[in-house]
Amino acid sequence: MLRIHAAELMVVRLPLKFRFETSFGVQTEKIVPLLVLHGDGVQGLSEGTMEFAPMYREETIAGGLHLLREVFLPRILGRTFANPEALEDALGSFRGNRMARAMVEMAAWDLWARMLNVPLGTLLGGRKDSVEVGVSLGIQADEAATVDVVRRHVEQGYRRIKLKIKPGWDVQPVRAVREAFPDIRLTVDANSAYTLADTGRLRALDAFGLTYIEQPLAWDDLVDHATLQGRLATPLCLDESVASAADARKGLALDAGRVINVKVARVGGHAEARRVHDIAQAFGAPVWCGGMLESGVGRAHNIHLSTLPGFTLPGDTSSASRYWETDVVNEPLEAHDGLMPVPTGPGIGVTLNREFVESIAEVQEEFHP
């Protein structure tokens, strides 16, 4: 049984090692909420992917922390659950706020796996001891800089290059990269920056042999994505538009996309992420694990999820050292020749670097029944 005795909530601010520009804007740091659940001498870890402002989805860090303190944690502390999926009975009645709920659910999965002394991926049904990884590259100063940063990461062995694009920065950099690297697996990500009025611009990307175009249209619109997919040869990949297995089913049934980016926190946790994976398999659609610039805690969760058999495209779980001078976990998460080893040991296989985390924590709170 899964008994949750207490919880800790911490928030740290990590400076990025590089300037990361997308259609949303420029990011130079990451605010990282961390949750620790305590049960029977074991700790389960999770990370929140909400942002300071509601740019990617509608959730924010401030709103998520409030819900954790006042609503979600009081409903689970001191209680015993048959397994992590049983937490849905306590939290499933609340609308939206899937990223905040995922913090509780994902920490419970880690806690459960550590209690059973098995890797999280094994509990989820994973079959791999390493996963293919790609890299997500932000908007650069010009085409030459774009080709240069792609070259560096191709030389490091990454098995997919993803370029961030936006209106006015799309065909030119993609053409430059494809001419320089005719054989690499190349994708683009628009983060909802386009509309159907840009169909001609997006259709021009068909010429470059992309594996997919990720989330070109509005985050909450499957219908326009279906219209656009009918006009393009390149598959569309749904990201922001899929917050549940039901969304994945509808998107694939409408042919709004032919690839799914699974972000475990976006869909509310591992149980729902596995259901999204299963729906995609039923439709014959590949999935891959997206990233939200996670620290080592969230990255380890993503790696374990990626061991499921339907994750057939390289994900965003690139080396942690690309992002941080010092990570929040003790164990290095480093890819080699485009493969990320699955952390060994029980649960997510990493431990919190408490000395470092507590030295920089902007929030540090304990909760008891």
**Which DSSP letter does residue 347 get?**
B
C-alpha–C-alpha distance, residues 123 and 83, integer Å: 11
- pLDDT at residue 25 is higher than 90: no
pLDDT of residue 26: 85
Let me know if 166 is a catalytic residue: no
Distances (CA, A) of 63 to 60, 69, 94, 272, 314: 5, 10, 14, 22, 32
Return the structure tokens found at 67.
Answer: 């819900």
- Average pLDDT over the chain reads 96
Element (H, E) at 300: helix 296-305
Identify whether the C-beta of residue 163 lies closer than 8 Å to the C-beta of residue 149.
no
Tell me the three state secondary structure of residue 319: coil
**Which DSSP letter does residue 250 get?**
H
C-alpha–C-alpha distance, residues 179 and 56, integer Å: 31
The mean per-residue pLDDT over the stretch 2-29 comes to 91
- pLDDT at residue 21 is higher than 80: no
The mean per-residue pLDDT over the stretch 195-221 comes to 97
Q: Which residues pair with 311 in a beta bridge?
A: 287
Instruction: Name the active-site residue from 17, 164, 166, 250.
Output: 164
Let me know if 164 is a catalytic residue: yes
Give the closest residue to 208 by CA, choosing from 225, 239, 185.
Answer: 185
**Which residues have a Cβ under 8 Å from the Cβ of 340 and sit 6 or more positions away?**
130, 131, 132, 133, 303, 317, 318, 319, 333, 334
Q: Is the pTM of this model over 0.95?
A: yes
Per-residue pLDDT tens over the stretch 79-132: 999 999 999 989 988 999 999 999 999 999 999 999 999 999 999 999 999 999
C-alpha–C-alpha distance, residues 288 and 283, integer Å: 15
Q: Which residues pair with 214 in a beta bridge?
A: 189, 237
C-alpha–C-alpha distance, residues 212 and 189, integer Å: 9
Q: Which residue has the tokens 């299963």?
A: 278
Instruction: Name the active-site residue from 30, 128, 162, 263.
Output: 263
Give the closest residue to 135 by CA, choosing from 114, 153, 119, 155.
Answer: 153
Numbers of helices and strands, H then E, in the chain: 13, 15
Distances (CA, A) of 233 to 106, 203, 207, 257: 37, 8, 9, 11
Per-residue pLDDT tens over the stretch 142-174: 999 999 999 999 999 999 999 999 999 999 999
Identify the band that residue 19 occupies on the pLDDT scale cut at 50, 70 and 90.
Answer: confident
pLDDT of residue 179: 98
Identify the band that residue 24 occupies on the pLDDT scale cut at 50, 70 and 90.
Answer: confident
Give the closest residue to 134 by CA, choosing from 211, 207, 234, 219.
Answer: 211
Q: Is 109 exposed, middle or buried (0-12, 13-18, 19+ CB in 10 A)?
A: buried
Return the structure tokens found at 44.
Answer: 């389960």
Q: Kindly report the CA angle at 166 between 161 and 168, in degrees rounded to 5?
A: 115
Torsion of CA 289, 241, 251, 233, to 10 degrees: -80
Identify whether the C-beta of residue 157 lies closer than 8 Å to the C-beta of residue 335.
yes
Identify whether the C-beta of residue 235 lies closer than 8 Å to the C-beta of residue 241.
no
**Which residues have a Cβ under 8 Å from the Cβ of 254 and sit 6 or more positions away?**
222, 223, 225, 226
**Which residues have a Cβ under 8 Å from the Cβ of 94 and sit 6 or more positions away?**
67, 71, 72, 101
pLDDT of residue 151: 98
Residue 200 phi/psi, 5-degree rounding, is -60, -40
